[in-house]
Structure formats: C-alpha cells, structure tokens
Amino acid sequence: MLKVKLFDVDFGEAHVILNYDDAREFGLRPQDRIKIANHHGSTVAIVNITDAFVKKGVIGVFSKIRKELGLKNSDTVNIELVGIPLTVELIKKKLKGDKLSADEINSIIADIVNKNLSSIDLAAFVSALYVRGMDMDEVEALTRSMVAAGQTVKFPGEVYDKHSLGGVPGDKTTLLVVPIVASYGLTIPKTSSRAITDPAGTADRMEVFAPVVHNLKSLSKIVNKAGACIVWGGAVDLSPADDMLIHVEYPLSLDPRPLLLASVMSKKIAVGSKFIVIDIPMGEGTKVLDADFAHKLAADFIELGRRLGVEVECAITYGAQPVGNAMGPVLEAIEALKILEGAREPNSVIEKSCAIAGILLEQAGVAKKGQGYEKAATALHNKSAFKKFKEIVKAQGGNSNVTIKQLEKRVGKFKHVVKSEREGYVTQIKNREITMVARAAGAPHDKGAGILLHSKGGDETDRGKPLFTIYAEKKEKLEHAKSLLAKLKPVVVEGMLLEEIPPSSLISRR
C-alpha cells in the first residue's frame, strides 16, 4: 500500500511518481506500466522515478488518475507491475504493413479503452495507420469495434445526421442545418466537437446559446422533446477509443484516413443515424486540397456506409476562405441568429446551409431530387427553422429568447480595425493565418474574441478601407494578435497590375 500525494498538473495522460527505493522494491523502471487500484476501481499508469518529489511509501498522482479513481491526499492505493500488452505486437504487425483481422482490431480497441496502452503505443498505432493505411475490411472492423466499445442510443423512426471534415474557419452552418431539418419533423441528434485548431467548433458556438455538456440520458430527453440537439460529443462517451486517439493525433499533426473514416462513422452509428451527409470542404488551407482526393474520400465514406447499412451522401464544398464573415463563438452565434431571424446575408452561410440541409431533406423524401435546397430555404424564410432552433435551445437548458443586442454585449470590448494599405481587390483570405490571429485574440476559450471580416475574396477595396476587425476580451491578447499581422498577412490585397517590367530591366539581365 502506498500513500497518495496529489499534484495539480494535467499531463493529458496517466502518470505517477515513485521514490527510487519503492521502485527498486517493486522492480520498476521509468516508463514501466503499473496498475494502480483503490475501492473505486483501477487504471494503468506510466511510472516516473524520483528521489526529490515523493518520499518512500508515497506515490505522486496527477490530475488524470486523481479524477478517474476519486483520490484525495493521503488516500492509499495498491500497485502492481503490468507487462507489455500483447496488442503491442499487433501494432508492430501493422507497422510492417500486414493486414489486421477483425479480432486483432477488437483487441487493440479494447486495450485502448481499458487504458492498457501508453501514449507511445497509441502514437505508434496512429503512425502505422498513417504510413500503412487500411483496406476497407479493416476500416469496417475498426468502425464496428469503436461503436461496440462506447455507448449507443436508439431513437424512434429514422435518424438523420451531418458531419463536416472541418478546416474552414467560420463554418457555423450546423446551427442552421439542424433546425432546418428538424423543422420538417425529422430526427437529427447532432453531437459536435469543440475547436482544436479553429477559432470555434460547433459545440463552442452552440454553447453561446445553451449548455452543450449532456450525458446520454439527457441527450435522449432533449431529442425526444425537440427532435434534435446540438451537444458536445466529448461528454456523451459515444466512441471513447476515438477520443483517446484524437489526443495523440493532434500533437503529431496526423490524420490517417482509416481513423478519419472510422471516427466519423462510429459516432454516427452510435446515435442510430441511417442517413448521413458528409461535408468535405476543399481548397487551400483545408484538409482536402484537390478534387481527386475529395472524390476518393467521398467514395470511401459511401462504401463504408454501405457496409454498415447507412446511406451516405457527400457534398464537396468550397473551403478556400472562411464561411461567412464572423469567426469566434459569440460573433458566429450572432451571425447565425441574424440569419435565423430573417437576414439574407452572408450568402455563403445561407447557401451552404441550405445545400447541406437540402440533401438531407431529399434523402428523407421531404423534397424531390433537386428541390431540397428550395425546401430548406423555405424553412429559413418562413421562420420555421428559427422556431425549431428556439425549441432546441430551450430543451438544452438555454435562453430561447436571447436577442442580438444581448449577444453583442458579450463581444470582446478590445478591438483593432485592420485597414487596406492599397487600392485593389481582396485576392485571398488565408484560412490558417486568419485562424491563428483569431486564436491569438483568445478564441475560442474567450467566447467574445474573434474576427469579423468586412471584405471577402474578390471584393474591391480602397486604401484605408477596413478589411477586418479583431475582437478580444483581454488587452494583452489583442496586442498578441496584432503582433502576428505583419508576419502572417491573413488578407491579401492586390491590384490588377501585379508587376511592371520596363525594357531596361531585360537589357540589364543579358
């Protein structure tokens, strides 16, 4: 038995600290795995050894394990050495390029969920899938295994859903698509992510209106009441293995296609979706740079859906610049609410929302083929989508009567207007760079931070005309965002004459 000493540090994974003497007695070395247990349960942790931070008979525990086992200072725990899991050999098998059977994939996913694999093991698995890939048999097995390892929910009738591969800042279309579809009596339980690299994720945007952290029981009540929801998927535990792998993918900047396919589809299958639209944004600064890759990815999603008994349709959308003008949770919430209340711009938000919603309405038979867009637009214009949105907000515990003016008071009070330095045309808005500036200003953590564009690609501008405004809740974050502008140049303005070359310059080159 060892006495617990808590350290208020979150490594993002399970680590413990042992004194050198205890480590010697247990026969442990740095990076060994141990099982740590108390009356609440057990978990696997990675060993670190010290002679300074903890005394003999004491085990240092960090935030992750503290939360899992409900530990307090001076609690006692048991530890025992855990050998290297057999699934590590299966990961090596995939690294060599061999095909994994369904049983082997099930073993890997089970060990991930049971926390028997370290972050190093998970990184090796992600790397193996990135380098070696998987055929569709393996991807199907991976998807089914992820579903089986998490919670599932069933709703009466057919269930509809949509997913965007992301990568485009300002894409608040889910806030419109879900109420449009639900306004026609269709069930659409949308679980969404928070932003990892963007100025806002769908969950961050929706959280401006209502709580998004709901368990599966709460989610079911919301959907049964309103016919739809927009909640944070991380609280529902639909695909825990996927959530753990995402934590490894992010620092590695890897997004293996097999995991992308299985990640999206496992969470849709878990909520019983039978009709799904996959939004594939394409363009510079997105995950999909060209039409060839977009079509291959679409074919994979459609085939995987067929194998899983789900009708999947893909929409390749324009993603070379932000969707709409607003980036950042509150700013995007304002833009979405204005459209729901009847505004006819920004057109890019309305057009994309109606296009995606229209495909779902056609899948449902609510609209004939080719007439879905018009049907979706009708729901916006006659305010039935707005009425449904208010129902969803109320069902999730939010203020369904919130006004634009109330939201505007939540926008960051510190701002900086960036003006054009020349006359010409906006030739490019760089997705990655504009995102970096918005995040430097505090988005999405600071809900009122972000960027509001005043010009989009192709717009004519004059010297001194505002291009965009940066908003921040804290002055120092605004200054940080401003400091990035010269280096990143997120908005490019050029004239029609790009360069003048006089005859003398040609003579001098000879």
Domains of the chain in sequence order: 2-82 (2.40.40.20), 87-133 (1.20.970.10), 160-234+267-404 (3.40.1030.10), 412-494 (3.90.1170.30)
Q: Over the stretch 165-179, which tens digit does the pLDDT of each residue have?
A: 988 999 999 999 999
pLDDT of residue 279 exceeding 90, the answer is yes
- What tens digit of pLDDT does each residue of 414-426 get? 999 999 999 999 9
**Residue owning tokens 């006692």:** 76
Q: What is the pLDDT of residues 328-365, one digit of tens each?
A: 999 999 999 999 999 999 999 999 999 999 999 999 99
For residue 461, the tally of other CB atoms under 10 A from its CB is 20
The answer, yes or no, to whether residue 433 has pLDDT greater than 80, is yes
| Residue pointed to by tokens 């007439």 | 371
Residues 355, 356, 360: CA angle, nearest 5 degrees: 115
**What does the pLDDT read at residue 450?**
98
In tens, the pLDDT along 243-253 reads 888 888 877 77
Prior bond to 444 cis, omega within 30?
yes
What does the pLDDT average to over 468-473?
98
Helix (H), strand (E), coil (C) string for 56-101: CCEEEECHHHHHHHCCCCCCEEEEEEECCCCHHHHHHHHHCCCCCC
Q: Give the DSSP letter string of 346-379.
A: -HHHHHHHHHHHHHHHHHHTSS-TT-HHHHHHHH
pLDDT in tens, 487-502: 999 999 998 777 778 8
Catalytic positions: 255
For the cut 80, the answer to whether the pLDDT of residue 138 exceeds it is yes
Q: Compare 145 and 499 and report the one with higher pLDDT.
A: 145
**Predicted confidence band of residue 509 (pLDDT cuts 50, 70, 90):** low
How many other β-carbons are positioned within 10 Å of the β-carbon of residue 381? 12
- For residue 508, the model assigns a pLDDT of 59
Give the least confident one: 43-57, 134-148, 458-472: 43-57
Residue type, 341: E
Residues 38/76, Cβ–Cβ less than 8 Å: yes
- The pLDDT of 180-199, averaged and rounded, is 94
Three-state DSSP state, 31: coil
Q: Please give the mean pLDDT across all residues of the chain.
A: 94
CA distances (Å), 197 to each of 122, 209, 254, 434, 445, in order? 21, 22, 13, 12, 12
pLDDT in tens, 289-316: 999 999 999 999 999 999 999 999 999 9
User: What is the average per-residue pLDDT within 50-55?
Assistant: 92
Predicted local distance difference test score (pLDDT) of residue 197: 85
The yes-or-no verdict on residue 506 having pLDDT over 80 is no
Rounded distance, CA 226 to CA 395, Å? 7
